[in-house]
Structure 1
Amino acid sequence: MIRLFVGIELPEIVRARLAAFAGGIPNVRWIAPENIHLTLRFIGEVDEDVGHDVDEALAAVAAPAFAFELAGFDTFGNGRRAHTLWAGVERNPALVHLRDKVESALVRIGLAPETRKFSPHVTIARLNDAPVGRLKDFLARNGLFRSGPIPCDRFVLFSSHLGRSGAAYAVEADYPLELAAADRDARTGG
């Protein structure tokens, strides 16, 4: 069995900027910089054979490269029930298009459809009864955060390995997105 999810790796500089927000709130487990990513689709535990089918299905996904931007912070859950601190993703039709293509590819190979609404975000911390006042202060102080444009020219199949200190993620495969003709020419010198 292997635990899989599909996502977008963030550039090291963006992960470092997000990791720099860590600290100052008790009862929070900050995500290690190397594990910060944007999830497109959680798959869960599957047999190795299904993992191979997932890889083949994702390799057939065709979508254009794009850029997206992180903006502000918020939580899932309210007050004392807040459990996840995340950076928001500006509305982006190209990102939603990619996610929809990934979802369709996975459903075609027999995976159950995702029932939750796609709410693109980048998790930066897990909360365990974090003090509400400190959390509100963090959100107010950092509400104007913007990453600037983040280029996305590929998406990734990750595996997740749970250990004593949390999850460690490994890239199992990556899938290039289609570059516009001008970008392709600039990269190839043509």
Structure 2
Amino acid sequence: MIRLFAAIPLPGEVRERLTDIAIDTPVGRAVDADLVHLTLSFFGEVTEPQGADLHAALLEVKGAPFDLALSGLGVFGRTRPRIAYAAVLPSEPLMRLQAKVAQAGRAAGLELETRRFVPHVSLVRLSGHRAEAAPIADFVVEENDAFEESVEVTGFCLYRSTLHRDGPHYDRLHGYPLGAFREV
């Protein structure tokens, strides 16, 4: 079994800026710059044949490149924060792409989470630090206007996630460009 998810990779300079913000948070564990991305759909544990079916379905996802707007910071779990994140504005092209990627997962026979898609980029994981996570809310309020960035999205990728003691490791398996010309 392999853990898979589809995500939009971010340019190196944007990942570095986000990591700099994360390192300044008063508690929690900052997400490593190499792991920073915008998840479109988490597919969970799948078999190798299901992964192949998923790849074939993702090859059929069509769309045009678009601009992605990141603006401000937030937290999931207001009273007991779990994750601090960079907010992503939910544009029509982004929401359409996410819906197509999720549909590709269902077409491959996978059962997906029913949670509503909230576009974000995780910056700090607070598990294990929840008792002392109250300062994160103050930090987010103080730094909310500190981050604004626009990124051109020209494709998305399928990643394998492997869990280790020091956190997850991600391997890019396939890329899916958006636009008129597609690599197979």
TM-score (norm 1): 0.88
Match of 2:159 in 1: 158
Q: Secondary structure at the match of 1:117?
A: coil
Q: Is residue 43–residue 112 contact of structure 2 (8 Å, CA) maintained in 1?
A: no
Letter in 2 for 1:114: E
Q: Secondary structure at the match of 1:100?
A: helix
Q: Is residue 69–residue 147 contact of structure 1 (8 Å, CA) maintained in 2?
A: yes
Are residues 1:46 and 2:61 paired?
no
Structure 1 position 134, deviation (Å): 2.0
After superposition, what is the alpha-carbon deviation per residue over 1:143-167, rounded to whole angstroms, capped at 9, x for unaligned? 1133321010010000001111000
- The 5-angstrom pairing of residues 15-94 of structure 1 reads 15-21=15-21, 22-26=23-27, 28-79=28-79, 81-94=80-93
Letter in 2 for 1:62: K
**Structure 1 runs not aligned, ≥5 long:** 185-190
Q: Secondary structure at the match of 1:160?
A: strand
Structure 1 position 132, deviation (Å): 4.7
Q: Secondary structure at the match of 2:5?
A: strand
After superposition, what is the alpha-carbon deviation per residue over 1:122-151, rounded to whole angstroms, capped at 9, x for unaligned? 000111226355212211221113332101
Match of 2:104 in 1: 105
Letter in 1 for 2:52: H
Structure 1 position 110, deviation (Å): 1.3
Letter in 2 for 1:155: F
> CA–CA distance in 1 between the matches of 2:40 and 2:60?
16
**Structure 2 runs not aligned, ≥5 long:** none
Matched residue count: 178
Q: 1:37 to 1:140 in 2, by over 3 A?
A: same
Letter in 2 for 1:63: G
Q: Is residue 86–residue 125 contact of structure 1 (8 Å, CA) maintained in 2?
A: yes
Larger radius of gyration: 1
- Once superposed, which parts of structure 1, at least 4 consecutive aligned residues long, lie more than 3 Å away? 130-133
Letter in 1 for 2:81: A
Q: Is residue 6–residue 156 contact of structure 1 (8 Å, CA) maintained in 2?
A: yes
